[in-house]
Chain A
């Protein structure tokens, strides 16, 4: 019996043959945390050790509330900076870097075959490069700092075979929402999700990041693409050190196999208050909105801003709508500045914010009042997430977001081609 990519990566780390269902202890390659490092540091102090075991494996990215919006967050950032200096942690990214899930790939930490754990639920994003990457809790992050070890259950794998090509106005975000809407938010609980099939190789690295990121909303432990020439090209000049490429054997055991034809999809929208409450654009078009958010770890990359700019070019945002744009990282920010995309967005009336999570998790920069409605390119629309419990969040692609910003109500991007 062959092995899945996940079984191969975890088996190599465990130093033995492993299969789905087994619990193993491994030493991760990278341990990610962000602003919540402040809480993790408090747990670490209880362990009675002075030093973290492998400082160079720890990556800390400030991204949740950057710059700090109040004293409490400022104190958190301060205690993190002091800890980084005290422990000699070399890989620290302060408020001018971006969202961790964009920064780690750009900085060459997200590599094929690596085991990456992170105290953030969207850590599976790095599966876009064929890494095993999964979210963990705060207590175990603190313990992993101290021991350089973590226990993991080897997951079963669900494969999603992709065929066909997206039609104009349809993107990876629409595909992810369609899958979650069809199968429910627990569809891949505990499992790995492999995105495969003839169309997987056609998808850009950005599209793969969007799908791997959204696998968290399927309940998945990790979501991934097998590395290919596109992956390796993207990593040229970025990869920090060598890596071993792994992919699933043809006779690997898959718990289930689904199939999606990209050519059959139309734009999708996740309606309040769950990510699996998904409808085709036609069923929700016309719903007035107060705010549009374009950005986040799901959809804040250059190609996302370009898709929005293609619609904003020569147009203005609707007078009744506030539009917030957040490049996912400073690299994206600089590229969008150079290629003129930001100028298009600003001319249309968008507010450009510092790279970071922004209002996605409801901490700052665009909190919603009671009764307000936001259409967002982010990944969660739970009740009250972006502000008042009686505000509403709709999730969609950057193109749908831009079309909505121009129309002042939820709109089909295909009508703005």
Chain B
């Protein structure tokens, strides 16, 4: 459980505005990708985001291309979770596989606004804030294991090392 503040966006936040196509084929370290996070949607974000912050958005977050950098840049920027009405399916997979929590909760999206302080309890499936406590469907154990390890690569490495 950790606390962060909310960054609020609308529906259909696509991979091009999360991580612009002009950088997609440049090989850059993760901390460098964070500098371009949400560059074409919210120029204020990259400079002000703090570790533990949470993005709250509408439906179909991450639609568009399958580029993994669109999940990597937000994780590198310190975002602990994205709470949305729904996610584009390849984005959902890429986010979890790169260690970025993606949670679906309409009530939280309805209530929360930019700057609100929130706590996320992953084990209990709860988002707590001054505006109320919102329940999201807890992520399955296997998925929590991937998130806890910091992504699929680390998770797989540990698993293989045990064998």
Contact = CB atoms under 8 A, between A and B. Distances in A.
Contacts of A137: 66, 68, 90, 93-94, 97
A185 B65 CA distance: 13
Interface in A325-375: none
Contact of B89 (A23, A48, A49, A189): A189
Contacts of B94: 137, 139
Given A121-B66, A121-B90, A137-B94, A48 B157 contact: yes
B117 interface: no
B89 A46 contact: no
Contacts of B74: none
B153 interface: yes
A25 B142 CA distance: 8
A385 to B, nearest CB: 10
A151 B98 CA distance: 14
A417 interface: no
Nearest to A188: B89
A112 B141 CA distance: 30
Contacts of B142: 23, 25, 151
* A139, A147, A185, most chain B CB atoms within 10 A: A139
B68 A139 contact: yes
B60 interface: yes
A interface: dominant SS:
loop
A48 B140 contact: no
A384 B65 CA distance: 13
Given A135-B66, A139-B98, A186-B63, A147 B88 contact: no
Interface residues of B, number: 28
B143 A151 contact: yes
B93 A23 contact: no
Interface in A135-160: 135-140, 142-143, 146-147, 151
Given A140-B93, A219-B88, A48 B161 contact: yes
A43 B94 CA distance: 14
Interface string B139-163: 0101100100001110011011100
Contacts of B143: 23, 151
Given A137-B97, A147-B160, A46 B153 contact: yes
A221 interface: yes
A143 B153 contact: yes
A151 B92 CA distance: 12
B80 interface: no
Given A25-B142, A137-B97, A151-B142, A221 B89 contact: yes
Interface residues of A, number: 27
A39 to B, nearest CB: 10
A49 B160 contact: yes
A59 B97 CA distance: 22
B86 interface: yes
Interface string A105-148: 00000000000000001000000000000011111101100110
A47 B157 CA distance: 5
Interface string A162-189: 0000000000000000000000011001
Contacts of A254: none
Nearest to B155: A143
Interface in A215-241: 219, 221
A190 interface: yes
A251 B36 CA distance: 49
A69 to B, nearest CB: 15
Interface string A55-91: 0000000000000000000000000000000000000
Interface string A21-58: 01101000000000000000001001111000000000
Nearest to B88: A189
B153 A139 contact: yes
Contacts of A139: 68, 94, 97-98, 151-153
A49 B158 CA distance: 11
Contacts of A186: 12, 59-60, 63, 88
* B63, B93, B140, B146, most chain A CB atoms within 10 A: B93
Contacts of A140: 93, 97, 152
Given A138-B68, A139-B68, A139-B153, A146 B89 contact: no
Interface in B1-24: 12, 21
A47 B160 contact: yes
Contacts of B160: 47-49, 146-147
A391 B99 CA distance: 37
Contacts of A151: 142-143, 146
Given A47-B156, A143-B156, A219 B68 contact: no
26 contacts: A22-B140, A23-B140, A23-B142, A43-B153, A46-B153, A47-B156, A47-B160, A121-B66, A135-B66, A136-B90, A137-B90, A137-B97, A139-B98, A139-B151, A139-B152, A140-B152, A142-B153, A143-B97, A143-B152, A143-B153, A147-B159, A151-B142, A186-B12, A186-B60, A189-B89, A384-B21
Interface of A: 22-23, 25, 43, 46-49, 121, 135-140, 142-143, 146-147, 151, 185-186, 189-190, 219, 221, 384
Q: Which 7 pairs between the two chains have the least Cβ-Cβ distance?
A: A23-B140, A143-B156, A190-B89, A137-B94, A143-B152, A186-B60, A139-B97
